[in-house]
């Protein structure tokens, strides 16, 4: 379909009733559209990507020119220039391309050339649409006219980092070309790994045109490193040389892990019918490939970068179409900054600035369509949306798809285009999973990812040259003949490892005093030592510098002080019970005495008499039950029941009192002015500590103890001497040290003891919140993980306890260190007995009151009938008397025997009076 003649367009607008001015404007716009548009294509023709891009670009141009909906009537012409993988040649070719008035350039494929050419297009305002320059440092802030029509390596390196995290590795070795493409990608990999708490342990770089000898030497050096996880980010044209040389060196065997970026898939996809010899070079390798939707059947021969080249042409054509339709014109102006010096043959003056470049750039960034690679749309950072990669595992017959990665769902076995249609609440069945992998050496067991470095150098193991506590480290001034608890545990753990670990012990310290343990840790951080074996506590400031293995012994801080025998007190008999216990026991004696008196008073003559005598009897009975010496007998059923329960309570209380008093009077009692941490802080007396250990810094920084109070000590003998002298004799009042050392100290010096509780500080210890004895390894070392596993195995099979018993189990002193407070009996031990006794007493009183009320009702009913026979005035007076409280008390004080006689007498009188007839309201008296 051709362009409409200008007169026809004008006539069309005139027929619609538009004015002549609009018709002229439309005619001018139609007349301004060119019949041909030139764009450039910069890439290396003779390269894997170039050989795929060439037919893709040509086919895309043909498809655009056949499509009547795009650039209708305008022929899209592509001028191709070969950059020959050279920044200099690429620059010259770009300048030559600019002389041909191109309005956009597709390419280049090389990130290095992209950096150079971007300066040219920035100056001439010509958009540069690259289908293969993946270097993340090609930033739109620095290169505003650069558009990446493929995915940045930043996304690919995030996929690699997710793979490393998925398999649980912490460190990788990067093998890459030392150019813009390689450096930019590996920098992005380091950033991505850091977010996953992993890192690049070693960067092995070599020039793009390195020969086999240089690559071989580099791989030999890489093979001496600890990591066995290799990420290869090289050029597809020569990258297979790396694997060929690695196989010759035995680096494609079991235990190695190789991850290749999308260069390898481009290489293999470009080979028609890959032979077995080529596949054998990369067998077991995990590689990435840019994920694209299924292409048109006519274009299946294209590799992924070929598809992106095809879509780049369509992207450019659509943007130019929108640019022209919106009134844009293709005009060029001279650049005043570009001119030829006298005698120069560079022809810089022929370079023109595209005046519509900025407008075309905006059209490129807002273009949105679906191409062979999927959705073509740019986000705010000028990255293509929905980045995704296929994850492939190379086998003997080809590559197998083991999963996908996308910026949306991360690792998954579900295709990204399916997950992009869902909300971000993926099922656990489809995300963060991969299918099984066959690793190098045709093994299915996941490699550990690291080995002990095969560089012939043993681990430099620092050992504190201690002066004291030889049970932990016995050095004998010979690093090759070390022993002790810490050394034996380390050697036993080393034997548990499935690989040999050569070690060389290095004594730290001069042997005259204990070395500073914090300084030893800093030696590991400075790489002066590889590890430390000894009584090394895990504390907060050390975990910032090094990692620790699983703790193998607990050792929190305690206080030890001098003790003296306490003389017996005149009031020692009061000590078995607490004050609360004494009060409650005395109260129950009174309560039980009162209850028994109430229950026995109406029946038992021994509980009757004058008030003074009854009170004396009640008190005597109460307290005589303590010795089971009461003389009064109980005759009531309720009284006997209460007494039986109370005698049982008294039996238990007296037995417990006797046992506690015996313990207090016969066991040696120890006392000290310092009873715990609070009393230690409240004094101003000197405190001893083990020189070189962390207790000094802890007391200064965390407990705010003045440094002038702290006295360094080196041995158990110095501990004993300082405590014996005491603060007044030039010694110390107490010593603060870890409980493991104090246990060893107290096994020999029995006149001292631990006071208070073991105390710690939040943040102490890396595994559990206590100060722990362990080994320090360089940060992030995988050996620390294996050593931790070995220590757990030693603990589970009992070997760790055997080593502990061998060195640290001594016959302790038989000092009677029982605390008086611990032997005192409190109410909490007997409240159950008192509750039972109180319940029985209450129940007995309730039953007694019920019986009393019943008897009172009988008595009142008989007495009222007789009183009715008396005179009216007398009746009122007697009824009032019966209803008074005093009368009720008198009734309760009445003996039950007298009460029964009174009731019987009243009943007899009633019967006797009833035998005479009434006469006029007067009764007759018997003769």
Pairing outcome for strands 410-412 and 399-406 = antiparallel
Count of CB atoms situated within 10 Å of the CB of 797: 11
Residue with tokens 């023709």: 45
Tell me which H or E stretch contains 870.
Answer: none
pLDDT above 90: percentage of residues in the chain? 35
- Both tokens of 179, joined, read 């150019």
Q: Give the tens place of pLDDT for each residue, 640-677.
A: 787 778 778 888 888 887 887 776 665 544 456 788 88
Biggest CA-to-CA distance, the chain? 177
pLDDT of residue 17: 42
Residue, of 477 and 878, whose pLDDT is higher: 477
Note the pLDDT of residue 671.
53
Going by pLDDT thresholds of 50, 70 and 90, the confidence category of residue 425 is low
Question: Region 434-442: what's the mean pLDDT?
Answer: 93
Task: Using DSSP bridges, classify how beta strands 229-233 and 332-334 pair: parallel, antiparallel or unpaired.
Answer: unpaired
pLDDT of 25 reads 41
pLDDT classification of 454: cutoffs 50, 70, 90: low
pLDDT at 270: 85
pLDDT of residue 922: 41
Q: What is the DSSP string of 751-805?
A: TEEEEEEEE--TT-SSSSSS-EEEEEE-TT-HHHHHHHHHHHHHHHTTHHHHHHH
Do the Cβ atoms of 167 and 383 come closer than 8 Å?
no
Q: What is the DSSP string of 29-71?
A: HHHHS-SEEEEEEEE-SSSHHHHHHHHHHHHHHHHHHH-TTSS
How far apart are alpha carbons 196 and 211 in whole angstroms? 35
Is residue 13 very low, low, confident or very high in pLDDT (cuts 50, 70, 90)?
very low
- Residue 765 binned pLDDT confidence (cut-offs 50, 70, 90): very low
pLDDT band at 878 (very low <50, low <70, confident <90, very high): very low
d(CA 130, CA 116): 13
pLDDT at 452: 72
Q: What average pLDDT does the chain have?
A: 80
DSSP state of 179: S
pLDDT at 885: 62
Looking at residue 4, its pLDDT comes to 37
Mean pLDDT of 430-439: 83
Q: Name 45's Cβ contacts closer than 8 Å, sequence gap at least 6.
A: 51, 54, 80, 82, 84
Output the pTM of the full model: 0.63
Task: Give 157: exposed, middle or buried? Use CB within 10 Å, 0-12, 13-18, 19+.
Answer: buried
Label residue 347 by pLDDT band (50, 70, 90): low
Strands (E), 49-170: 75-82, 105-106, 128-130, 146-148
Distance of alpha carbon 173 from alpha carbon 372, whole angstroms:
35
| Residue 79 backbone dihedrals phi, psi, to 5 degrees | -105, 110
Please state the length of the chain. 927
Answer with the residue of higher pLDDT: 670 or 425: 425
> Which DSSP string corresponds to 467-505?
SS-TTT-B-TT-GGG-BSHHHHHHHHHHHHSSS---EEE
């Amino acid at each position: 379909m051709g362009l409409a003649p200008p007169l026809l367009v004008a006539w069309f607008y005139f027929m619609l009733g538009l004015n002549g001015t609009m018709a002229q404007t439309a005619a001018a716009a139609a007349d301004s559209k060119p019949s041909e548009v030139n764009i450039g294509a910069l890439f290396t023709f003779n390269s894997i990507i170039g050989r795929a891009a060439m037919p893709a670009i040509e086919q895309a141009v043909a498809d655009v020119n056949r499509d009547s909906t795009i650039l209708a009537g305008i022929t899209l012409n592509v001028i191709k220039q070969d950059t020959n993988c050279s920044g200099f040649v690429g620059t010259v070719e770009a300048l030559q391309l600019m002389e041909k008035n191109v309005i956009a350039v597709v390419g280049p494929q090389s990130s290095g050339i992209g950096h150079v050419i971007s300066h040219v297009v920035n100056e001439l305002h010509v958009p540069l649409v690259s289908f293969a320059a993946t270097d993340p440092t090609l930033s739109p802030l620095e290169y505003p006219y650069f558009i990446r029509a493929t995915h940045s390596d930043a996304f690919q390196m995030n996929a690699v980092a997710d793979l490393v995290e998925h398999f649980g590795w912490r460190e990788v070795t990067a093998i890459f070309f030392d150019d813009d493409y390689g450096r930019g990608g590996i920098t992005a990999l380091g950033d991505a790994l850091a977010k996953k708490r992993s890192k690049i342990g070693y960067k092995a770089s070599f020039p793009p045109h390195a020969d086999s000898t240089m690559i071989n030497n580099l791989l030999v050096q890489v093979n001496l490193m600890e990591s066995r996880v290799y990420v290869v980010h090289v050029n597809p044209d020569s990258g297979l040389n790396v694997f060929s040389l690695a196989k010759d060196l035995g680096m494609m065997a079991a235990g190695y892990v190789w991850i290749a970026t999308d260069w390898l898939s481009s290489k293999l996809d470009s080979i028609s019918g890959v032979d077995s010899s080529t596949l054998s070079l990369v067998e077991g390798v995990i590689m990435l490939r840019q994920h694209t939707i299924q292409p048109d059947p006519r274009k299946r021969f294209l590799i992924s970068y070929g598809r992106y080249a095809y879509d780049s042409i369509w992207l450019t054509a659509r943007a130019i179409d929108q640019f022209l339709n919106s009134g844009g014109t293709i005009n060029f102006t001279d650049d005043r900054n570009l001119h030829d010096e006298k005698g120069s043959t560079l022809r810089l003056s022929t370079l023109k600035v595209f005046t519509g470049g900025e407008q075309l750039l905006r059209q490129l960034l807002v273009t949105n369509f679906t191409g062979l690679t999927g959705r073509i749309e740019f986000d705010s950072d000028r990255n293509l949306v929905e980045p995704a990669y296929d994850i492939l595992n190379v086998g003997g017959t080809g590559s197998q798809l083991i999963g996908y990665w996308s910026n949306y769902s991360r690792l998954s076995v579900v295709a990204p285009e399916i997950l992009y249609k869902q909300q971000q609440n993926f099922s656990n069945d489809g995300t963060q999973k991969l299918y099984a992998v066959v690793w190098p050496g045709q093994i299915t067991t996941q490699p550990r990812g690291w080995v002990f470095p095969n560089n012939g150098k043993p681990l430099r193991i620092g050992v504190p040259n201690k002066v004291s506590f030889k049970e932990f480290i016995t050095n004998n001034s010979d690093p090759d003949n070390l022993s002790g608890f810490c050394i034996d545990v380390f050697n036993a753990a080393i034997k548990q490892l499935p690989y040999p670990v050569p070690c060389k012990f290095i004594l730290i310290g001069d042997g005259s005093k204990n070395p500073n343990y914090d300084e030893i840790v800093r030696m590991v951080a400075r790489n002066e030592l590889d590890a430390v074996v000894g009584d090394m506590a895990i504390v907060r400031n050390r975990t910032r510098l090094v990692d620790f293995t699983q703790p193998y012994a607990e050792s929190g801080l305690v206080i030890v002080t001098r003790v003296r025998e306490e003389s017996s007190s005149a009031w020692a008999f009061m000590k078995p019970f607490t004050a609360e216990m004494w009060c409650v026991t005395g109260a129950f004696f009174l309560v039980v005495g009162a209850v028994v008196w109430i229950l026995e008073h109406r029946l038992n003559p021994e509980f009757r008499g004058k008030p003074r005598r009854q009170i004396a009897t009640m008190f005597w009975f109460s307290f005589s039950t303590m010795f089971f010496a009461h003389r009064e007998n109980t005759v009531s059923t309720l009284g006997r029941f209460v007494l039986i329960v109370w005698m049982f309570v008294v039996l238990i209380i007296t037995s417990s009192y006797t046992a506690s008093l015996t313990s207090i009077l016969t066991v040696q009692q120890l006392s000290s002015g310092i009873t715990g941490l609070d009393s230690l802080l409240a004094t101003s007396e000197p405190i001893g500590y083990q020189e070189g250990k962390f207790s000094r810094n802890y007391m200064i920084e965390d407990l705010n103890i003045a440094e002038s109070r702290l006295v360094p000590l080196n041995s158990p003998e110095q501990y004993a001497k300082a405590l014996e002298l005491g603060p007044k004799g030039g010694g110390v009042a107490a010593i603060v040290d870890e409980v493991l050392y104090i246990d060893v100290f107290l096994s020999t010096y029995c006149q001292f003891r631990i006071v208070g509780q073991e105390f710690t500080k939040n943040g102490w210890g890396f595994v559990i919140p206590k100060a722990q004895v362990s080994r320090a390894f360089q940060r992030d070392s995988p050996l620390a993980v294996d050593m931790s596993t070995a220590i757990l195995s030693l603990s589970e099979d009992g070997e760790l306890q055997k080593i502990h018993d061998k060195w640290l189990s001594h016959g302790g002193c038989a000092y009677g260190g029982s605390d008086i407070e611990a032997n005192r009996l409190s109410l909490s031990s007997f409240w159950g007995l008192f509750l039972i006794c109180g319940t029985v007493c209450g129940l007995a009183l309730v039953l007694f009151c019920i019986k009393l009320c019943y008897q009172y009702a009988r008595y009142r009913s008989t007495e009222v009938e007789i009183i009715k026979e008396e005179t009216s005035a007398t009746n009122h007076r007697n009824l009032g008397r019966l209803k008074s409280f005093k009368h009720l008390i008198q009734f309760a004080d009445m003996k039950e025997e007298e009460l029964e006689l009174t009731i019987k007498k009243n009943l007899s009188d009633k019967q006797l009076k009833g035998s005479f007839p009434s006469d006029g309201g007067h009764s007759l008296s018997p003769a």
